[in-house]
Amino acid sequence: MELTVGPVMGFWDAAAWSDFYARLAETPGVKRVVIGELVCSKRLPFYQTRLPEAIERLQAGGKEVSVTSLALVTLKRERKQTAELADMGLEVEVNDITALAHLPQGAAFSAGPLINVYNEGTVAFLKARGAVRFCLPPELPMASVERLAAAAGPVPVEVWGWGRLPLAISGRCYHARYHDRAKDQCQFVCADDPDGLAVDTLDGQEFLAINGVQTLSAQCANMAHTLPRLKSAGVSGLRLSPQTQGFFEVVSLFDDLVQGRISAEEMSAKALPHAPGGAFCDGFLEGAAGVSWSGNPLHAQV
């Protein structure tokens, strides 16, 4: 089971962003890294000039590197940015299906978790178009994962293994609206919440988290207890989503888990203090409410 580190979804300080990838380049256990801007194109200029150095460091550290497309392309400059991805010399992870229009026919790409790969027909279409890897949407149950992995055949399939789940993307900015600002005059308030801003119901129940135009789960996905079944289903990789605190401890724990050095129970107990939102979930994969978790209930929350 390989470990992939997904793109940074929050808006991080540029120096912190660079430091993260410098350290990740030297971190054992990680096979593949997806880099670039997934959520909001307005964030990209803050670290765009740092991308070449980060990519070079990662590759020098033995990591396979892919670059992500935006999750929602709506503006002319975003179409231009998407078209330029094909010229970077890296495998593109498509997270908006319109990005395929900018890739040469037959060019290799990976299908990211924000592409609605829900059936075998979609898998067949994307493979014919050049897909060489799938990261399946996190809302799929295990039965669907099994069928899609079988349809993918030799093409590697990974699932979301750790981090707040990406649930939706919007043309409107929740962070700007929360601070009574227009999207175009947001003043980058999302930087105040680099791991997302928790949203509770009127009854005080943890509900969601917001990240600019993106909606995330309040809980942190942790697929440790489902690892044996994922392997049996033909899944070859887990995706770990970056966070500002404790991420490298989490990577080490997952490496120990997939190598059989620790149990899922031990891994989860040690990882809980680093979980965004302070609670675990894997309910979608279990075919239950997404907020639920199949592990020890004592470790489902702090």
CA distance 142 to 229: 8
135 is in an annotated binding site: no
281 is in an annotated binding site: no
Over the Cα atoms of the chain, what is R_g?
A: 18
186 is in an annotated binding site: yes
Binding-site residue ranges: 40, 173, 186, 190
Binding-site residue ranges for [4Fe-4S] cluster: 40, 173, 186, 190
